[in-house]
Amino acid sequence: MNASPELEQLFKKSLEDFFCFRIEDISERVRKPISPSREESHTIIFVTEGTYTTKIGFKEYTVKPDQIVIYQAGAVFSTEQINTKVNGFTCHFHPDILIGKFGNHTLLADFEFLHVGNHPVINVNKDAKPAILNVLERLCAEFKSDDRPNPTIVHSYLYTLLAELKLLFGQNSSVNRNASFQITSQFRKLAHQNVKKNLKVADFAEMMNISPNHLNKSVKNITSKSASEINDEIKLIEIKFLLYQSGLSISEISYEMGYLDASYFTRFFKKRTKVSPTAFRRMIEKS
């Protein structure tokens, strides 16, 4: 998009990398296609009028009215065609928003449609549409408010939106789930169930009765990441939950997560977040 004071004003506020607005508010400013990109955040696009064509991975999708397309965090996407006659909403948020003070990690693990490799298009039926529109309108209003977006409101409405999408995602029975997809889904489920046991990829492979190499190949085929990277991401989510929501000390969280060596736990966290657990908690307290 061409730079302008209006765009700077639109995007100036941020709540852990969050924004939500109507597509038509910015579509006229789009000047060139989106080259292949990878984001660390999720983007949900709900088309209400017109069509929107995009590519996720190697597959192209044409999103029609009353359909939602999800750019899952970590997925490669691009848009070759510019269509300024599209109406709807776009909601963009970093996964960390979902693990804030009001987060619920059991729900977070259940939002399969946010996992790379899952079918990214969801059909919105006439019964669900009013609720989804209402939530997106509320998120847009909160983002456009004069003050910084209220974390309580953003978290609450985001969870409501994701809960609605979870129900709709379950109704999409035409999704082709191959062997790699099934293995990856089973691995994710086991990683969440055993997040505090500090297990390695070989441990999960043994539980699944497959070789570590086969597990890694399957997970990488679906997510473009190794099984170890996915396991680390799931552990980081749990650690951040504990830092956000519990009064446990850093050493107690280390022990809770299965690390007998608190210094190793700190190195693990800092290597992947660029800050220590103590510094991360200070950031939370200041926010």
Say yes or no: 183 and 126 in one domain.
no
Domain end (from 109, 139, 170): 170
Q: What is the pLDDT of residue 146?
A: 72
Mean pLDDT computed over 22-38:
76
CA–CA separation, 224 and 231 (whole Å): 14
Say yes or no: 138 and 53 in one domain.
yes
Mean pLDDT computed over 165-179:
71
Say yes or no: 165 and 183 in one domain.
no
- Average predicted confidence (pLDDT) for the chain: 84
- Dig out the tokens for 68 from the structure: 């939602």
The string of pLDDT tens digits covering residues 87-125 is 999 999 988 887 766 566 666 677 888 888 788 999 999
Q: Of 14, 13, 70, nearest to 42 (Cα)?
A: 70
- Dig out the tokens for 176 from the structure: 């082709």
Say yes or no: 266 and 197 in one domain.
yes
Domain end (from 149, 170, 191): 170
The string of pLDDT tens digits covering residues 223-273 is 888 999 999 988 988 898 888 878 899 999 999 999 888 899 999 999 988
Instruction: Decide: helix, strand or coil at residue 100.
Output: coil
CA–CA separation, 70 and 161 (whole Å): 13
- Domain assignment present for residue 3? The answer is no
> Does the pLDDT of residue 14 top 50, yes or no?
no
Q: Of 142, 125, 226, 230, nearest to 188 (Cα)?
A: 230
Least confident of 148-152, 157-161, 267-271: 148-152
CA–CA separation, 81 and 78 (whole Å): 9
